[in-house]
Amino acid sequence: MPIKKWLKQYAVALPLLFALFTFTQYIKGHSLNDAMMFAITWACITLAIFAVTRAYNFKRNVYCQLARFESSYKGYIEELGDEERYPFPMDFPHHDFPALLSKLKNFELGIDLPEGFIASSTYWLVEGETLLGVSNLRHELTPALRHAGGHIGLGIRPSYRSKGLGKWLLANTLVKARERGITDVHVHCYKGNGPSAGMITANGGVLHSELQDGNAIVQRFVIAN
């Protein structure tokens, strides 16, 4: 939602509406003070109604656009089978697709987050109406996530792997991180996962350290963004 752009437009519209309402009331014979009181009240009401309607229509339009990927999303999940799903939002219940979209949006806004979770944005890599990959960007790191987890998680649909899409998706997620002012991006993967490590290093990742996580070793890379 382009909130900053809209706020600038509303900042211009409010005084114009105020002037218009003041003028119309004044020429009807009302005193200037009464005309101004009427004008500020109805300028704010008019702008508020317009803003709410605009936001609702924008949100509905976004959901309508995303809803066309429902079949592909469910097909993606089926392709994964018993694989561990990455990033973590792929584990969200998806049978009620509108509810899934709402949950992803709430995570982005930091609304109704489960304990231990922080705000994050989920991005879809698509071609036509086919979902090819998914990435997730955490807006900040808790000590636990800095230890193991990192800022970015991503996955590519099994039938579209080995095509360089992971590298491309990570690169574009890094752009989103930069827009949020995240300069040192932590991206982690398990040691022995050559494709993930290669994707990370191809985007400038430098191995920071390794740590034991149960029976596995986690490699912690940092990308200067």
* Tens digit of each residue's pLDDT (9 = 90 or more) over 22-40: 989 889 888 999 989 998 9
In this model, does residue 147 exceed pLDDT 70? yes
Instruction: Spell out the domains of the chain, with CATH numbers in brackets.
Output: 3-67 (no CATH), 70-224 (3.40.630.30)
List strand residue ranges (DSSP E) for 15-160, in order. 120-127, 130-138, 152-156
Question: What are the tens digits of pLDDT across the range 6-21?
Answer: 788 888 888 999 899 8
Report the predicted TM-score, pTM, of the whole model to 2 decimal places: 0.73
Strands 184-190 and 152-156: unpaired
**Residue 77 to residue 82: CA distance in whole angstroms:** 9
Return the pLDDT at 55.
74
179-to-19, 83, 224 alpha-carbon distances in Å = 37, 32, 14
Give 87: exposed, middle or buried? Use CB within 10 Å, 0-12, 13-18, 19+. Answer: buried
Residue recorded with tokens 């993930």:
196
**Residue 38 to residue 34: CA distance in whole angstroms:** 6
